């Protein structure tokens, strides 16, 4: 199933740990970011960075890039590709270096100081970006080049870079008059602050709630591992002798799956779906109203009907009509299936003598029961085969068999938290390819979800191929007591998914930073991640990594058959809750007029319009829909489904030729994983596959057609 990774652009917070025993002995605050790091592979020196380093480095980085941009804009020589486009692509090294660390680490563990600095920096960075994008002299140089490329002899990649910069300037307001530009600056500052506040509120709301259980009878139905984890959570929060469940998914989801206490399931689930909707100081409804209205105004200022029209112009989908066409076609398969599933669950409730109607907080509990009835598949039975370290070795082995990569654990290198692990990634010929960090367990300040990003992206600089520093972050089930981290099937799939994004970053092989790695459209970026999911539970792959954590026994064929037999079970629900959220996103962002928005009424009307059944809510309700209100996926949540058209068709090529077929893997690496944004995504896809994708494989992938 296609996932909900909060990829790359999530802006969340972290504080650096007190691992400063080896602090630099001299230097002004922020100086650590002024030059390339003197560390193995140029890894960020987390053991030397302190909070006080960030603000001076940001301010100096802004100053330096301003000077670099002015030098390009005021260059007395006629504009050329080298002195204008390439020169721009090289600007901002210091600012980029500190930003990658600051915003990257904000995902792991926040504190008030980091939150405050992020808010302080927000208008400064917005103004800095606008100063570049609205620099008339700079834009005129770019426009001169873009208007006539006849004698420039550009490669495809070079033209793509020129076109990307030109469109970037136009979409950032360079063609507006002075009054319009001033209003655009105000809009950008407001939006930057509001999206930041939305994410901050959501993080607080997620962390502030806890369901405390002090009566052992209220643990009825919960597996021993879930109970142990809740006891450890209670102890860490000063509730020793009790059990605590929170709103991180590894906590709330198993409670909903197994708890026999319906009233407690309801309490926990409502706390989850009411985040940001509690009419308190962390409420997100007014923020959403402001964001939506400001986006409408900005889009129309730039000449677009709606925010969705503005966003989608640069995606594969191109326009809202194409997005709605895909979502509605899938909805027509998903909703009837979800209704059948709801009827089955209601029949199960009735058979047990339950005198109530199925509600959304019942779905996971009765689905788990029905799965055991239909497939004799109990997730607690399979989890012992999915020790986190074994699953990680599994994705490493898949990458080795497909692309010849190997992963060497790095010791005594700077990391930002003791739970982080780092690996050197070697190519098939033994050459250095990348560094890969993993950070897989939830912590109090870490944002929910899973994502990939980089501390440094790939580029060719002074004829040297600078290799990337890539990381995956997750919130998977923690180890408890003497039991290692045993992942759920969903978590296994998510780990494979995020590793697919990591491969996209690691294997990048372009010339220019702005086109590197995952710098592609939202509805193409999920192809490398989602195709990796197909390997996760393939019988041939499971035999490689799924081994019992106590005995070392390879997962038996019987369990593999059960896992695969149940692979499309509950798919009506899974697809319906996803598409409902994607349609909600589109409803907000196809608005063409500003006005008063009652967020809850708007959401209710949007769901009524598509006839969503009462037993299911959208995967993300508005007030905690961080993808679209703080995470860079506005008018873009559909992208996971759009990319599934690609990934399902692409994996068919592996199915036809062998899942580890070297020729097929080589084509996928050459035309998809290594190319970044150096060419049109559909052209890249056709070079891999030989044709445009066939959408029938998406429907087959979800079990809607045979």
User: Tens of pLDDT along 505-536?
Assistant: 999 999 999 999 999 999 999 999 999 999 99
pLDDT for res 23: 38
Average pLDDT of 164-193? 98
Confidence band, pLDDT 50/70/90 cuts, at residue 111: confident
DSSP, residue by residue, 240-283:
TTSEEE-SSHHHHHHHHHH---HHHHHHHHHHHHTTT-SSSTT-
6, burial (CB in 10 Å: exposed 0-12, middle 13-18, buried 19+): buried
Q: Is the confidence at residue 9, as pLDDT, over 80?
A: no
Q: How far apart are CA 662 and CA 355, in angstroms?
A: 57
d(CA 232, CA 236) in angstroms, rounded, equals 6
Residue 259: the pLDDT is: 98
pLDDT at 184 over 50: yes
Give the class (CATH, top level) of 31-202: mainly alpha
Q: How confident is the model at residue 116 (pLDDT cuts 50, 70, 90)?
A: confident
What's the mean pLDDT in 346-355?
96
pLDDT confidence band for 112 (50 / 70 / 90): confident
Buried b (16+ CB within 10 A) or exposed e, 51-69: eebbbbbbebbbebbbebb
124 burial (CB, 10 Å; 0-12 / 13-18 / 19+) is middle
Provide the pLDDT for residue 105: 80
* Per-residue model confidence (pLDDT) at position 18: 29
Domain coordinates of the chain in residue numbers?
Answer: 31-202, 209-273, 384-565+640-701
> Is pLDDT above 90 for 680?
yes
Among the options 368, 424, 493, 498, which is catalytic?
498
- Token readout for 433 is 């390819």
| 352: Cα within 13 Å, side-chain hemisphere | 13
Burial of 179 (0-12, 13-18, 19+ CB in 10 A): exposed
| 498 assigned to active site | yes
pLDDT per residue as tens digits for the range 539-582: 999 999 999 999 999 999 999 999 999 999 999 999 999 999 99
CA-to-CA distance for 552 and 536, rounded, in angstroms?
19
Same fold, 31-202 and 384-565+640-701: yes
The whole-angstrom separation of Cα 138 and Cα 70 is 8
- Angle, vertex CA 587, rays to CA 295 and CA 602, nearest 5: 95
**What per-residue confidence (pLDDT) applies to 447?**
82
> What does pTM read for this prediction?
0.94
Tell whether the model's pLDDT for residue 147 goes beyond 90.
yes
Residue 321 pLDDT:
98
Question: Once rounded to an integer, what is the mean pLDDT over residues 211-217?
Answer: 98
Please state, in angstroms and as integers, the Cα–Cα distance from residue 538 to each residue in 29, 235, 557, 565, 654, following that order: 51, 39, 12, 12, 12
For the four alpha carbons of 529, 531, 537 and 541, in that order, the dihedral sign comes to negative
Task: List, for residues 652-665, the tens digit of each pLDDT value.
Answer: 999 999 999 999 99
Instruction: pLDDT band for 110, please (50, 70, 90 cuts).
Output: low
* Spatial separation of the C-alpha atoms in residues 58 and 664, rounded to whole Å: 44
Structurally, at CATH architecture level, domain 384-565+640-701 sits in Orthogonal Bundle (1.10)
Quote the tokens at residue 166: 């030109």
């Amino acid at each position: 199933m296609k996932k909900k990774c909060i990829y790359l652009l999530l802006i969340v917070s972290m504080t650096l740990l007190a691992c400063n025993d080896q602090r630099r002995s001299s230097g002004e605050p922020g100086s650590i970011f002024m030059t390339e790091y003197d560390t193995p592979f140029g890894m960020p020196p987390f053991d030397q960075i302190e909070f006080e380093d960030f603000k001076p480095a940001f301010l100096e980085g802004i100053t330096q890039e301003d000077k670099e941009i002015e030098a390009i804009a005021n260059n007395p020589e006629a504009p050329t590709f080298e002195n204008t486009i390439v020169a721009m692509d090289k600007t901002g090294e210091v600012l980029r270096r500190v930003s990658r660390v600051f915003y990257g680490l904000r995902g792991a563990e926040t504190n008030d100081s980091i939150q405050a600095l992020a808010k302080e920096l927000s208008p400064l960075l917005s103004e800095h970006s606008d100063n570049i994008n609205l620099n008339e002299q700079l834009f005129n140089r770019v426009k001169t080049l873009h208007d006539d490329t006849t004698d420039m002899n550009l490669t495809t990649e070079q033209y793509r870079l020129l076109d990307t910069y030109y469109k970037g300037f136009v979409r950032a307001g360079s063609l507006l008059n002075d009054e319009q530009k001033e209003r655009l600056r105000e809009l950008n500052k407001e939006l930057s602050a509001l999206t930041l506040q939305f994410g901050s509120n959501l993080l607080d709301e997620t962390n502030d709630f806890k369901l405390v259980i002090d009566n052992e009878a209220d643990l009825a139905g919960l597996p021993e591992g879930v109970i142990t984890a809740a006891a450890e959570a209670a102890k860490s929060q000063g509730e020793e002798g009790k059990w605590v469940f929170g709103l991180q998914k590894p906590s709330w989801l198993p409670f909903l799956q197994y708890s026999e206490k319906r009233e407690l399931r309801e309490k926990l689930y409502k706390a989850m779906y009411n985040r940001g909707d509690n009419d308190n100081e962390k409420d997100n409804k007014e923020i959403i109203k402001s964001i939506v209205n400001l986006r409408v105004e900005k889009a129309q200022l730039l000449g677009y009907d709606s925010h969705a029209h503005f966003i989608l112009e640069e995606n594969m989908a191109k326009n809202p009509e194409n997005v709605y066409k895909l979502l509605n076609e899938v909805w027509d398969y998903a909703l009837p299936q979800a209704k059948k599933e709801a009827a089955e669950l209601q029949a199960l409730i009735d058979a047990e003598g339950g005198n109530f109607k199925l509600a959304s907080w019942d779905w996971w509990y009765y689905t788990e029961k029905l799965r055991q009835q239909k497939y004799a598949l109990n997730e607690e039975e399979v989890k012992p085969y999915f020790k986190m370290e074994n699953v990680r070795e599994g994705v490493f082995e898949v990458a080795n068999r497909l692309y010849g990569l190997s992963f060497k654990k790095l010791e005594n290198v700077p990391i930002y938290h003791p739970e982080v692990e780092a690996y050197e990634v070697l190519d098939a010929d033994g050459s250095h390819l990348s560094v890969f960090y993993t950070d897989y367990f939830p912590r109090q300040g870490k944002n929910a979800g899973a994502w990939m990003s980089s501390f440094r992206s790939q580029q060719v600089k002074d004829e040297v191929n600078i290799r990337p520093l890539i990381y995956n972050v997750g919130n998977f089930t923690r180890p408890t007591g003497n039991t290692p981290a045993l992942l759920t099937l969903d978590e296994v799939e998510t780990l494979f998914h995020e590793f697919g994004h990591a491969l996209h970053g690691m294997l990048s092989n372009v010339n220019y930073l702005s086109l590197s790695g995952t710098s592609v459209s939202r509805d193409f970026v999920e192809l490398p991640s989602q195709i990796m999911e197909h390997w996760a539970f393939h019988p041939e792959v499971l035999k490689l990594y799924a081994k019992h954590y106590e005995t070392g026994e390879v997962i038996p064929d019987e369990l593999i058959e059960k896992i695969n037999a149940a692979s499309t079970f509950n798919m009506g629900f899974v697809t319906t809750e996803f598409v409902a959220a994607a349609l909600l996103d589109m409803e907000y962002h196809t608005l063409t007029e500003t006005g008063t928005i009652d967020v809850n009424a708007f959401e209710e009307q949007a769901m009524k319009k598509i006839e969503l059944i009462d037993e299911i809510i959208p995967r993300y309700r508005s007030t905690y829909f961080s993808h679209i209100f703080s995470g860079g996926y506005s008018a873009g949540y559909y992208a996971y489904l759009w990319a599934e058209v690609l990934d399902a068709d692409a994996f068919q090529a592996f199915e036809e030729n062998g899942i580890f077929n070297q020729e097929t893997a080589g084509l996928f690496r050459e035309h998809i994983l290594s190319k970044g944004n150096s060419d049109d995504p559909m052209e890249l896809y056709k070079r891999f596959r030989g044709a445009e994708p066939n959408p029938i494989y998406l429907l087959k992938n979800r079990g809607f057609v045979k």
